[in-house]
Structure 1
Amino acid sequence: MQRVTIGLKAGLFALVSLCATNTALAAPTKVKVFVASMFEIGANTGDRAGEFQYWYERYWQKSAPHEVRGALKPVYCNDDGVCGSVLGMGKVNSSSSIQAILLDPDYDFSEAYFVLTGVAGTPPSRGTIGDVSWGTWLVDYDLGHRWAPEEGKPGEPVFIPRKGYESYRLFQLNPVLVNWAVKLSAGVNLKDSEAAQKYRQRYPDARANAAPSVQTGTHMTGDTFFHGPGLSKEAQYIAKLYGADDYVITEMEAAAITLVIKRQFGTDRIMSLRGAVNFDQGNPNETTQQHLDPAPGQTAGGFAETVENIELVGARVVDHIVADWPQWQKGVPALPAK
């Protein structure tokens, strides 16, 4: 009888131990920083780099892909809690992917910071090829009413916002976090190219002719690839109409992704990081159609350098947050006194 009792106790102990082990194995990954790119050109490494490749090569070459139901591409995580994925281009594509990832029980995003990153366009009066920009505001280019210019008074705007979208057409990103990002990325040696330098000379604007630098301003989200001075002016008008900073970046995803994150975790830990690979309009000697469909050899240079610049700038912030996690875990710390 004693042997039976001892055997029973041993079996129960083994069962409890197994359950504890399975529970430990099932614990979700605590995400410290999530890097969201929108597209990759080919493989994650070893070929022409798109938006994800430099991030992947820095953080996840030794990480196994994790398939998430409903997401476009796998999620990768390293042992430091830095995770990332390619979400897809456009509002619907990217927001559906981030929703699936945030709801995956294998991850805990409750304390995560988000870097929404990719390439973009810029008005030549506000930026240049190779610039890297931290978004201060995210504005949805749509969610309103538009009409043909000939149907209104000459020179007047052809857009008015639609009522009912006030809470998700405009997001101010955490100013303290933006200032941290600017501070940490100051002094990064940004890449440039001879092709980009030559292309800039087609534009008379001082900013368009400048060397690449780290900037801040409003990122305008729209599925439409709007081009030309008229629509660029309209984007600036919308930014000012909403009380945001100057429009400096045109992109396709950030406002939509931010809305998804906001509904679960708020916006205090979101960063929008974009690199300018094109101008949002042609130079004075070409039409908008010529700018959209350039002749062979007439495209803007600097794409390869810009995607590298994005990672060089963003990694400064990611690495700092992870290295000083006790200070960042519960929220964005105050900036140190100057």
Structure 2
Amino acid sequence: MKRLLALTALSFTGAAVSAPAPVLAAETAPATAKIPVRVVVVTTFEIGKDTGDTPGEYQNWIEKFPLAQTLPAPGTDHGVMHYNPDLQVLAIASGEGPEHMASAMTALILDPRFDLRHSYFVLAGIAGIDPNFGTIGAAVWAPRVINGGLAHLVDPREIPRDWPDGFTPVQGSRPDETPRPPLHSLSGDMMYTLNPGLTRWAFDLTKAISLPDSDGMKQSRARYHGYAPAQKPPSVMMGDTISGETFWVGKLMNRWAERWVRYWTDNQGVMATTAEEDVAFCQALALQAKAGRVDPERALVLRTSSNFDMPPPGQTAAQLLADEANEKGYSAFIPSVNAAYQVGSVVVRELASHWDRYENTIPATGK
């Protein structure tokens, strides 16, 4: 807990004798037993129904894990949660975007039905991927989450000639402001470092998994001439995720994201994936940890890549955006949804099935 909080420092009598007041039933009734939760699986969206149709991030967990019991989820966009009482695994769909994630996580953690102080949290969702890092269909465990949504922005038509892009830290006036503003300030939290030992343990547990591939994915990645990582088959990897609500696209924006990750991690981070909700996931856990309700040292972020975040040589950013709007650019959508479950469920099942081992001792590589 201390590591994440430090790095989120960036890593809620009168005289007469009267009859006694009636005793309310709630004062004498025993407290309702909490629903035990070993692992919380956090997804962000579903397509159509929760079962029986085209799967989003949520459906595979319900059908395959399985999570047969339905529970109401007040205060969330999706409205219901699913639960496996034997393994004590709970799953939610937060809704897309950081606002939905923050609201859903806060509602869950404050829900009086649960005691989540020893629960593990596994965010398993799809993302865009940097072709300089990897390929579509890959599964990437994130050591760090970088806030890509909080910045000053100069309009591209007014960017000074010696600037790499128009983004500066909120407390700075240049893209490379030195010394770098603090990771946690009045402006917000800019970087979270997840438990390194737990993240490495999850990676080691899953790195040998063979991920799904397809002819469409092969054709898509073959277009990325000059990007060797993009042309490899999908695999399980480790790399940082940049989190922000804007769905940006293009080579220049990708260059900014790579720089932004390096800047906020003191050149230690490597930009791998881009998604919306991760910073809100970390923020909610960090804030509720201050009240002793959760342990953010027990959090993991897994992102599987449904698409590249920039076009291949010969295609413009606008053309790629049009393809994606028409769902032509998401050849890895179903493979990435499947990979999120395939990889994430190995970790979730291991934690839940060996609770005697992991309830009081967080796993880490080498332990």
Q: Normalising by the residue count of structure 2, what TM-score does the alignment of the two structures yield?
A: 0.82
Letter in 2 for 1:30: P
Tell me, yes or no, if the aligned pair for 2:124 and 2:303 is still in contact at 8 Å: yes
Tell whether 2:285 aligns with 1:261.
Answer: yes
Change (3 A) 1:165 1:23: farther
Tell me, yes or no, if the aligned pair for 2:144 and 2:191 is still in contact at 8 Å: yes
1:60 deviates by 4.3
Tell whether 2:84 aligns with 1:54.
Answer: no
Tell whether 2:119 aligns with 1:112.
Answer: yes
1:75 deviates by 1.7
Q: How does 1:1-338 map to 2 (within 5 A)?
A: 23=30, 26-79=32-85, 80-151=87-158, 152-163=160-171, 166-167=183-184, 168-204=189-225, 205-243=227-265, 244-265=268-289, 266-294=295-323, 298-336=328-366
- Deviations along 1:76-108, one digit per CA (max 9) or x if unpaired, are 221121001100111111111111111000011
Aligned pairs, how many? Answer: 319
Letter in 2 for 1:113: Y
RMSD after superposition: 2.2
- Deviations along 1:52-82, one digit per CA (max 9) or x if unpaired, are 1111112344212323234533122211210
Tell me, yes or no, if the aligned pair for 2:147 and 2:243 is still in contact at 8 Å: yes
Change (3 A) 1:334 1:309: closer
Using the aligned pairs only, state the percent identity: 30
Bigger mean CA deviation after superposition, 157-166 or 187-196: 157-166
- Deviations along 1:25-52, one digit per CA (max 9) or x if unpaired, are x211121100110000111121111111
1:242 deviates by 0.9
Change (3 A) 1:56 1:165: farther
Aligned equivalents of 2:161, 2:327: Cα separation in 1: 40
Query: Which runs of 4 or more aligned residues in structure 1 lie more than 6 Å from their structure 2 counterparts after TM superposition?
Result: none
- Deviations along 1:235-278, one digit per CA (max 9) or x if unpaired, are 11111111151110000001111111111234211111111011
Bigger mean CA deviation after superposition, 163-172 or 108-117: 163-172
Change (3 A) 1:287 1:264: same
Letter in 2 for 1:142: G
Gaps of 5+ in 2: 1-24, 172-180, 290-294
Bigger mean CA deviation after superposition, 110-119 or 324-333: 324-333
1:193 deviates by 1.0
Aligned equivalents of 2:342, 2:170: Cα separation in 1: 39
Aligned equivalents of 2:131, 2:332: Cα separation in 1: 15
Aligned equivalents of 1:99, 1:209: Cα separation in 2: 40
Aligned equivalents of 2:327, 2:253: Cα separation in 1: 26
Change (3 A) 1:150 1:297: closer
Aligned equivalents of 1:301, 1:183: Cα separation in 2: 28
Change (3 A) 1:297 1:334: closer
Tell me, yes or no, if the aligned pair for 1:118 and 1:273 is still in contact at 8 Å: yes
Letter in 2 for 1:203: Y
Letter in 2 for 1:333: P
Aligned equivalents of 1:235, 1:52: Cα separation in 2: 28
Letter in 2 for 1:256: A
Change (3 A) 1:110 1:63: same
Letter in 1 for 2:40: F
Change (3 A) 1:271 1:334: closer
1:297 deviates by 7.9
Tell me, yes or no, if the aligned pair for 1:73 and 1:87 is still in contact at 8 Å: no
Change (3 A) 1:286 1:71: closer
Aligned equivalents of 1:335, 1:208: Cα separation in 2: 28
1:22 deviates by 6.5
Letter in 2 for 1:305: P
